[in-house]
Structure formats: structure tokens, C-alpha cells
Amino acid sequence: MKSTITRTFSKGWILLSALTLVVILTGCASVDPAPFNEFTASLTPLRDAIDAQATEAASASREEFIDKVTDGEISPADLQLEFDSSNSFATSYGFAEDGEPNFVKFGRFRLGLTALNNAMIGYAQTLAILAGGDSAGDILPSATEFDQMARDLNTNAGTAAAALGVSVEPGKQALLSTAAIQLFKAYIDNQRRKELVAAISEVQPRVAEYASSAQQAVRLLASLVETDYNKKILPLLTTSPPNADAILTFNEATQTTLVTLQSMSNGYGALPAAHRDLMAAADNKTTGLAGLIALGDEASRLNGLVKQLTQTNTAAIAAAPTN
């Protein structure tokens, strides 16, 4: 009789242990890193394309400024910097209403967008590591290591916020808030998917704010295209004999530039929904991730447009009159 009771108890204990293990594994199961890797991969072409366009915009704006000085619209005396008596590190141009000529503004936007993209890519790479863990060959960072990663991300995000004028409350410009950091560290300690979901949810408002500010910066870059076009088209229109090929080629380069900038804006516009999908991915719901799909599609489109833009710009330079 005792043997029967023992066997029955043993079977019951094994069953209970198995059920407990299932519950534990369900709560602590590894997360599929694929959606997180896709998110990271989609951000890379956006970073590369926006950096190139912002650099070109700053250069074109500076050339326009130099032409205005040459034409007498701006006096050379106005180029003297004014120093801020309340801030030993700050200077401004007296002739500009806000102390910041467009070429300075575009240069600042370039730095801000670069910092923003670096912060977002660093954040995405961190998510991929956290999602994959040992199953992806990555070792989860310690709490101390994650603190350093968070500081680095927030430094880039702070630089971006200052440069782009991100409209968030003072003291809340960090990409990863204190609450988000604590949730990520809890996930590192416990490997519970709900904590990763909650951490990503905590970051969602910051991602939306940064994406909106980046879109505004891209629109400003697009506004410079018309100014640059009007300046450069006049010599082509007055060339004798007329060179229709040069005009049409320059038109095509201008249109491709605008389409490329629109794709960049669309990419930033897709960012919040793609990031929101990562919450579902963290909960192992990897179907119907429309936001991630849209961001990936825009990244692929942008890659193609950048190649096309390089070709049209090269053709425009070749077709332009040399005199």
C-alpha cells in the first residue's frame, strides 16, 4: 500500500513540477529577435541617406549665403560674430533675426539627425540583444553594462533633442526614462516577456516625439531644394544655344531629390508604428506587424532612390554648361 501511495505521490509531484516548469518557461521564454533585427536594418539606410542630404543642404545654403555677400545683399561687416554676455560658449550672427543663418541651422540639423539616428540604431541593436539573449549567440548585458548603454543612448538623444528642438518637457528628453531603464533591467534579471513589453511601451512616446521632429527637419531640407533650383536653373535657361538636355536632366535630379526626401519623411513617419509593433514582437506575436513591414518597405524604396539620385546628379553635372 505504501508503495502505491509513494508511486501516486511521485507521479503527482512530477506532473506538478512539469506544469510549474511550463508556466515558468512560458513567462520567461526567449523572444524571437528577427523583428528587432528587421527594425535595426530598416533604420540604417535612413541614417545614411539623411546624413548625405543634410550635408548637401548645409553646403548649398552656405554657398547661397556667400553669393548674397558677393552680390551686396549682406555686408561683410555683418559676418562678425557677436558673443553672448550670459554664456561664454555661445555666439551668433547679428544680421540673422534669431542669430542663426540658414546654413548654420542646416548644419545643426545634420548633427541632430545624425545623433538621433545613432541613438535609434543603438537602441534597436540593444533591443535585438535583449530579445535574442543566449539563443541568438548574444550574452545579456549586466545591470551595470546596461546602465552605461542607456547613458550613451541618452547622450545621443539629448544632442538630437537640442539640435532638432524636440518639444518635450524639460528633463524628459532622454530616450530611455528612469522607469524604462528599470523595466529593462528587470527583464535582464528575470527574463519575463511582460517586462520587455512594458519597457518598450514606456519608450514609445519618446520615439513618436523624436520621429515627428525629424520629419520637420526633413521638410526644412526639402524647402531648400526650391531655392537651390531657382538659382541654378537660370543659367541653364539663358544658355545660347539652348541646351534642353541639361535643363531636363537638372529637372530630373531635382524631382528625384524631392522624392528621396519624401521617402525619408515617410520613413520617420513609419517609425512610431514599427516601434509599437516591437511590443507585440516582445510578446511573441510575430504576425500582422504592419508597422515593421511599412518601415522595411520604405527603407528598401529609399535604398533604390539613393542609387537613382546618385545617377541623376552625376548626369546633371555632366550635362551642365562648362562656361
- Quick: pLDDT tens for 97-149: 666 777 887 788 788 888 888 888 888 888 888 887 544 445 678 888 888 88
* Predicted local distance difference test score (pLDDT) of residue 99: 65
Query: Mean pLDDT lowest for which of 24-38, 185-199, 282-296?
Result: 24-38
Residues 70 and 26 occupy one common structural domain:
no
Q: What is the mean pLDDT of residues 197-221?
A: 89
Say whether pTM exceeds 0.75: yes
Residue 203, pLDDT > 90, answer yes
* Predicted local distance difference test score (pLDDT) of residue 276: 95
Instruction: Kindly report the average pLDDT of the chain as a whole number.
Output: 80
Report yes or no on 97 lying in a domain.
no
* Predicted local distance difference test score (pLDDT) of residue 273: 96
Q: Tell me which amino acid residue 71 is.
A: D
Residues 22 and 110 occupy one common structural domain:
no
Report yes or no on 39 lying in a domain.
yes
Residues 8 and 68 occupy one common structural domain:
no
Report yes or no on 204 lying in a domain.
yes
Residues 151 and 115 occupy one common structural domain:
yes
* Predicted local distance difference test score (pLDDT) of residue 222: 86
The CA distance from 203 to 68, in Å, is 45
Residues 12 and 133 occupy one common structural domain:
no
* Predicted local distance difference test score (pLDDT) of residue 34: 86
Residues 120 and 262 occupy one common structural domain:
yes
Residues 139 and 264 occupy one common structural domain:
yes
162 burial (CB, 10 Å; 0-12 / 13-18 / 19+) is middle
Q: How confident is the model at residue 223 (pLDDT cuts 50, 70, 90)?
A: confident
Residues 13 and 71 occupy one common structural domain:
no
- Full domain range(s) for residue 13: 1-30
Report yes or no on 288 lying in a domain.
yes
Is there a cis peptide before residue 205, judged by omega within 30 degrees of 0? no
How many domains does the chain divide into?
2
97 vs 184, residue with greater confidence: 184
Residues 13 and 39 occupy one common structural domain:
no
Residue 160, pLDDT > 70, answer yes
Residues 1 and 66 occupy one common structural domain:
no
Residues 16 and 41 occupy one common structural domain:
no
Report yes or no on 88 lying in a domain.
no
Q: What is the mean pLDDT of residues 57-82?
A: 84
CB of 264 closer than 8 Å to CB of 11? no
Give the end-to-end CA distance of the chain in Å, rounded to a whole number: 109
Report yes or no on 82 lying in a domain.
no
* Predicted local distance difference test score (pLDDT) of residue 24: 37
Residue 16, pLDDT > 60, answer no
Paired sense of beta strands 91-93 and 81-83, if any: antiparallel
Report yes or no on 237 lying in a domain.
yes
Report yes or no on 83 lying in a domain.
no
* Predicted local distance difference test score (pLDDT) of residue 15: 40
Q: Which residues pair with 57 in a beta bridge?
A: none
Phi, psi of 128 (to 5 degrees): -60, -40
